[in-house]
Amino acid sequence: MPVEIRVPALGESIVEATVSKWLKQTGDPVTAGEALLELETDKVNLEVPAEQSGVLGAILKAEGETVQIGDMLGVIDEVGAGTHSRGRGSTTVQPAMSTQPAVDNGQPLATTPHSAPVSMSPASGANNPEEVFATPVAQRVAAEHNIDIRGIQGSGPGGRITKEDVLRHGKQGTARTQPATTVAERSIAAPQPVSPAAAPSRPEYPLRPPEGASVPTLVSAATPTRREERVRMSRRRQTIARRLVEAQQQAAMLTTFNEIDMSAVMAVRQRRKDAFMQRHGIGLGFMSFFARATVGALKAFPLLNAEIQGDELVIKHYYDLGIAVGTDEGLVVPVVRDADRKSFAQIEREIADLARRARDNTLTLTDLQGGTFTITNGGIYGSLMSTPILNTPQVGILGMHKIEERPLAINGAVVIRPMMYVALSYDHRIVDGSEAVRFLVRIKELVEDPEVLLLEG
35, pLDDT greater than 70 = yes
Alpha helices, H only, 75-135: none
Mean pLDDT of 364-388: 92
Nearest to 322 by CA among 294, 299, 341: 294
Query: Among the listed ranges 72-76, 190-194, 265-269, 304-308, which one has the minimum average pLDDT value?
Result: 190-194
Q: Are strands 118-120 and 131-132 parallel, antiparallel or unpaired?
A: parallel
pLDDT value, residue 433: 94
Percentage of the chain modeled with pLDDT above 70: 74
pLDDT in tens, 393-436: 999 999 999 999 999 999 999 999 999 999 999 999 999 999 99
65, pLDDT greater than 70 = yes
Distance of alpha carbon 272 from alpha carbon 454, whole angstroms: 14
pLDDT value, residue 11: 66
Kindly list the structural domains of the chain, giving each domain's residue range(s) and its CATH number in brackets, ordered by start.
3-77 (2.40.50.100), 97-177 (4.10.320.10), 236-456 (3.30.559.10)
User: Nearest-5° angle of CA 383, CA 450, CA 257?
Assistant: 35
Q: Which residue has the higher pLDDT, 166 or 309?
A: 309
Distance of alpha carbon 301 from alpha carbon 322, whole angstroms: 18
Distance of alpha carbon 108 from alpha carbon 102, whole angstroms: 5
Q: Which long-range contacts (CB under 8 A, 24 or more apart) does 342-348 make?
A: 344/276, 344/284, 344/288, 344/289, 344/292, 345/276, 345/279, 345/280, 345/282, 347/287, 347/288, 347/291, 347/292, 348/280, 348/282, 348/283, 348/284, 348/285, 348/287, 348/288
E-assigned strands of 316-412? 321-323, 325-327, 330-332, 335-336, 373-377, 396-400, 403-410
Who's near 179: CB < 8 A, 6+ residues apart?
Answer: none
Report whether 145 contacts 110 (CB < 8 A). no
Q: Which residue has the higher pLDDT, 331 or 393?
A: 393
106, pLDDT greater than 50 = no
Distance of alpha carbon 376 from alpha carbon 399, whole angstroms: 5
Report whether 393 contacts 307 (CB < 8 A). yes
Residue type, 292: R
Kindly provide the b/e burial profile for residues 426-456, where b requires at least 16 CB atoms within 10 angstroms of the residue's own CB.
Answer: bbeebbeeeebeebbebbbbbbbebeebeee
Report whether 17 contacts 40 (CB < 8 A). yes
Query: Among the listed ranges 74-88, 98-112, 264-278, which one has the minimum average pLDDT value?
Result: 98-112
pLDDT in tens, 178-230: 554 444 444 444 455 555 455 455 544 445 555 655 555 555 555 678 888 88
Mean pLDDT of 165-172: 78
Distance of alpha carbon 18 from alpha carbon 364, whole angstroms: 17
Neighbours of 258 (CB within 10 A): 15
Which residue numbers are catalytic?
428, 432
pLDDT band at residue 147 under the 50/70/90 scheme: confident
Its sign, for the CA torsion 210, 211, 213, 218, is positive
pLDDT band at residue 437 under the 50/70/90 scheme: very high
pTM metric for this prediction: 0.58
